[in-house]
Structure 1
Amino acid sequence: MSDPRLDLSIDGPVARLTIRRPEKLNALDAAMVDALVPLCRSVERSAAKVLILIGEGDKSFCAGGDVAAWSALGPAEFARHWIRDGHAGFDAVARLSQPVIAVLNGHCLGGGLELASCADYRIAEGHARIGLPETSLGIIPGWSGTQRAARRFGPQLIRRMSIFGEVYSADEALRLSLVDKVVDKGRGLAAAEDLAAVVAGRSATAVELTKMLINAVEGEERERVLDALAGRIAAGSEDLRQGLAAFRQKSQRPKD
């Protein structure tokens, strides 16, 4: 499954995923959300050591879910598909083995902030505005805005944005630890590429394991992290090598 409005490019150790829907402020519809899972699988299986996530243009990183795409859905469809499929796509981003750097090169609202919260590092350009306006439309921040975003930024900050309507400038977001760095307009991608070069110069295995452990502390896929870490140890053990050798010898014996 692919969508031309989500453009994935991989150049050596750096992958870049660009949301290309500037006419809709890079808002996401159902097809785009569905495409996130296979795109992340492609990144996982590549030689990339880091992913940069950015929106096309300079007005919006991502304006969240396309209102026209979800407003016509009935309650069951909304919960069963829009919300659950959104979680699946965003989980895939948050749980990538590789670190993710989000470039907020414009407004980052609603589902856009929920997507940015999946990243490991957020760089905001100076003109960006950040908030969770869903309740003003009569809906909730449904793509883990009250869950993952609350874990990463703190529940009180999420209350202030989602219940009381606070919207922050890039500088305010930096003070509140919503973003990790602020740069001038148009400088976000260059800053992300510089940071990606730092990550690419480090041990990919050590970075992956460290990210997994931090994710587990945050409650992100704790069970899978434990299984993956234990499986990695077992897969490199002498016991496994001997066990497989014995299995092969047994399978090659002539049958009576």
Structure 2
Amino acid sequence: MSDDRIRIDMEDAIAILTVARPEKLNAFDIDMLKALASACDTIEADGNIRAVILTGEGKAFCAGGDIKAWGAMRPEEFGHQWVRFGHRVFERLATLRMPVIAAMNGHALGGGMELAAAADIRIAERQIKIGLPETSLGMVPGWSGTQRLVKHFGAQIVRRMVLGGEVFTAEEARSNGLVDAVVETGTVVAAAKDYAGRIVKRGPAALEICKLMIASANGEDNGTAVEALGSILAAKTGDMKEGVAAFSGKRPAEFKGEW
């Protein structure tokens, strides 16, 4: 789906994925979620991309979900069309085969923090604030705030944000492991490009495999990781090539156990 509020720009082997709705602090509506899913498919299919930088346009990284997009939904619509769909989209981002760096140029609140958590590396500008304010609206984090964030950062820090409503500065977030580095205002995209430059010099196959193995070790969809790794391995064997050739030629396969 095309939506100019989700933009992909290319710099050599680096894709810069920008959430561009600055007048709403880059808050998501349904069409933006659909466009983000489409952008992930586009990036995944491009064999030239080795790293992704995720950032926001203007003064915010992302303010989460636009309340006007979901506030009037019926409960079943809210649960299925908003929460479950958004969760699937963020999972799509989290499972891109190449490393993703969140360049947090501004505040990341609610769904914005959940968006940043879908990245592998988070770099934040010094002035930003991070939090999960959903319970102040009588709702709960729905785009992996109580799931991925707990796996990545630990239950206690998530309790402090969700139950106590604590909002952290960039330095506090770094101290608590929510972000990996803090840089000066206006420099985060350049810092992310420097980090992405380190990534693209490494073996892309090794990076993809390592990302899957780390996710598996962290309890993130072990079944998908195991099947993906097994499928990649099988696809490189002589047996699979022979099996495909035999099927196409309508003949019995002659497997030799070649790796």
Rounded to whole Å, the distance in 2 between the matches of 1:49 and 1:245 is: 31
Residue 217 of structure 2 aligns with an amino acid whose one-letter code is V
Partner of 1:55: 56
Partner of 2:8: 8
Deviation at residue 12 of structure 1 after TM alignment: 2.2
Partner of 2:26: 26
Task: Confirm or deny that 1:101 pairs with 2:64.
Answer: no
Partner of 1:89: 89
Residue 179 of structure 2 aligns with an amino acid whose one-letter code is V
TM-score, normalised on structure 1?
0.95
Deviation at residue 68 of structure 1 after TM alignment: 1.1
Deviation at residue 228 of structure 1 after TM alignment: 1.1
Residue 124 of structure 2 aligns with an amino acid whose one-letter code is A
Q: Structure 1 pair 248/79, CA: closer, same or farther in 2 (3 Å)?
A: closer
8 Å Cα contact 1:51-1:98 kept in structure 2: yes
Rounded to whole Å, the distance in 2 between the matches of 1:139 and 1:240 is: 49
> Per-residue CA shift, 1:105-163, capped at 9, x if unaligned?
11010000000000000000000000000000111011110001111111111110011
Rounded to whole Å, the distance in 1 between the matches of 2:96 and 2:7 is: 17
Structure 1 residues without counterparts, runs of 5 or longer: 252-256
Rounded to whole Å, the distance in 2 between the matches of 1:125 and 1:31 is: 28
Partner of 1:64: 64
> Per-residue CA shift, 1:10-62, capped at 9, x if unaligned?
232100111111111111111111222111011111110010000001x2100
Percent identity of equivalent pairs: 49
Rounded to whole Å, the distance in 2 between the matches of 1:221 and 1:186 is: 36
Rounded to whole Å, the distance in 2 between the matches of 1:176 and 1:32 is: 30
Rounded to whole Å, the distance in 2 between the matches of 1:216 and 1:82 is: 27
Partner of 2:183: 183
Partner of 2:139: 139
Superposition pairs of residues 231-242 of structure 1, within 5 angstroms:
231-242=231-242
SS of match in other structure, 2:142: coil
TM-score, normalised on structure 2?
0.94
Partner of 1:161: 161
Rounded to whole Å, the distance in 2 between the matches of 1:240 and 1:112 is: 43
Rounded to whole Å, the distance in 2 between the matches of 1:250 and 1:31 is: 46
Residue 237 of structure 2 aligns with an amino acid whose one-letter code is S
Q: Structure 1 pair 160/239, CA: closer, same or farther in 2 (3 Å)?
A: same
Corresponding pairs, count: 251
Residue 246 of structure 1 aligns with an amino acid whose one-letter code is A
Task: Confirm or deny that 1:112 pairs with 2:115.
Answer: no
Measured on the aligned residues, the alpha-carbon RMSD in Å equals 1.3
Q: Which moved more, 1:216-225 or 1:169-178?
A: 216-225
Partner of 1:45: 45
8 Å Cα contact 1:54-1:105 kept in structure 2: yes
Deviation at residue 249 of structure 1 after TM alignment: 3.7
Deviation at residue 245 of structure 1 after TM alignment: 3.4
Deviation at residue 246 of structure 1 after TM alignment: 3.1
Deviation at residue 220 of structure 1 after TM alignment: 2.1
8 Å Cα contact 1:121-1:179 kept in structure 2: yes
Deviation at residue 167 of structure 1 after TM alignment: 0.4
Residue 13 of structure 1 aligns with an amino acid whose one-letter code is A
Deviation at residue 224 of structure 1 after TM alignment: 1.4
8 Å Cα contact 1:36-1:92 kept in structure 2: no
